[in-house]
Amino acid sequence: MDYDVAVIGGGPGGYVAAIKAAQLGGRVALFEKEKLGGTCLNWGCIPTKCLLKTAGLLGEIQEAEVYGILGIDKDALRIDYPKLAARKDALTGSLRVGIEDLVKSNRVDLYREQAILRHPGEIRTSSGMSLRCRSMILATGSEAMIPPIPGLEDAIRAGFAITNREALDMVKLPPSMGIIGGGVIGVELALAYSAMGVSVHIYEAMDSILPPIDKDLSAIIHRRMVKSGVRIHTSSRVTRVQAGAVEFLEDGREMKDLLDLVVVAVGRSPNIKSLLDLGVADGKKVPVNRNLETRVPNVYAVGDCNGSYQLAHVASAEGSCAAKNALGQRQAMSYESVPICIYTLPEIACIGITEEKARKDGIPCKVGKFPLSFNAKSQIENETSGFIKILVSEKYGNILGVHMIGHHVSEMIFGLGVAIQAELTIDDITDVIFPHPSISESILEASMAVLGKPIHS
């Protein structure tokens, strides 16, 4: 046997699985046909956040006078896009080198080529090698879904329509851009590029952007985006894409926008093409149980390809769990406390269920809300439009969900994940001493509001 574990795909699911398996004493091979770090590092989370950092900073500099800073000529402010793109590329490049170093220092054998998978336990490489392994961890990720909109495929061939991947590799910005899909990718890209002077239109089929998110949160982002010049068309169905234009139905009315570029962001499909011979896929994804086992013995699937969550941090947690199982331990995934962060301006961070879901499922709950306009640190940061909402089970007092919108809330959500994992009650949270001044103390205030006894509201 050449390897104990072969991992297919070097994104946040695959490289974490490989390193964890090696740390547990396994002989491990990792196959990556493109760039280590996968979509997240190269064409997703990291480059987008790099662009959004510049967008946010530009907004702050435009408000410099609020902070007592004079001498900024707002009309002269502009973004040097090639320089920003170079920063993004340098940053992703250095993180990629970091992953490669980690893979090597953990003695994982890295194969920079396509793995051809015909039988479980056997891998052929595109360069003609044949390798045997005891277990396989599939981490092949996902690709942008292309909806069957007339003209779209031709527009993609002509380079008029692109996906998030090309949208994050642009060398020059278009004057205008239409984004099909007002989900996480669509909204983050719209915010980044509109700040850079691109005239952005979003076409979203549902009646609000960011559909699964708590409506109170998405309403704030909707207003902020419209204020910053993004044109949002909700309840809109794109009916045709043709070079230079998008036709759509908005509330039943036929409309047409002339555009320089279209970005397709209507969701992502698991990458299963290379896995078909293994017999693990169901036509759409690779179904797994809580131990991440597929229906084929000794073959595990983690991350976007298994169709559970499409989040890098879930992929990494699954990678770690699958590595343990592949090496004889028994661990099941728990998805009760998965944080969701959206890097809008300001940020959104959520965990657990929404108020709408609790109502729909008939779960009796109490809700506490604290507006950040009452919070000193948020006022100092000049970002007061957000709030923190906590849902607590009426019966047991445990936390069912937390929904936050505000400055840097993505850095705060993990604490609530700990609370949910540890099954802490709302009384436990109100006993915690939070730092002052901080945005996080609004969690304490929202918790006290659940009990009907807030101090500062």
List of residues contacting ligand NAD (CB under 6 A): 45, 147, 180-186, 188, 203-206, 211, 237-238, 265-268, 310-311, 341-343
Q: Rounded to the nearest whole angstrom, what is the least distance from the CB of residue 119 to ligand NAD in the complex?
A: 31
CA angle 309, 313, 317 (to 5 degrees): 90
Helix, strand, coil percent values for the chain (each to nearest 5) = 35, 25, 40
* Contact by Cβ (8 Å): 239, 248: yes
| Burial class of residue 225 (count of CB atoms within 10 Å of its CB; 0-12, 13-18, 19+) | buried
Q: Rounded to the nearest whole angstrom, what is the least distance from the CB of residue 456 to ligand NAD in the complex?
A: 30
Q: Which is nearer to ligand NAD, 185 or 351 (CB)?
A: 185
Q: Which is nearer to ligand NAD, 93 or 267 (CB)?
A: 267
Q: Which is nearer to ligand NAD, 195 or 265 (CB)?
A: 265
* Contact by Cβ (8 Å): 428, 348: no
β-strands 268-270, 299-301: how paired? unpaired
The gap from C-alpha 16 to its chain's centroid, in whole angstroms, comes to: 17
Q: Rounded to the nearest whole angstrom, what is the least distance from the CB of residue 6 to ligand NAD in the complex?
A: 26
Q: Which is nearer to ligand NAD, 135 or 164 (CB)?
A: 164
The gap from C-alpha 310 to its chain's centroid, in whole angstroms, comes to: 7
Report the alpha-carbon distance of residue 169 to residue 159 in Å, rounded: 13
Q: Where are the alpha helices (DSSP H) in 184-337?
A: 184-195, 215-227, 312-326
Q: Which is nearer to ligand NAD, 36 or 46 (CB)?
A: 46
Catalytic residues: 436
* Contact by Cβ (8 Å): 219, 233: no
Half-sphere exposure of 174 (CA within 13 A, CB side): 24
* Contact by Cβ (8 Å): 15, 41: no
Q: Rounded to the nearest whole angstrom, what is the least distance from the CB of residue 408 to ligand NAD in the complex?
A: 14
Q: Rounded to the nearest whole angstrom, what is the least distance from the CB of residue 258 to ligand NAD in the complex?
A: 19
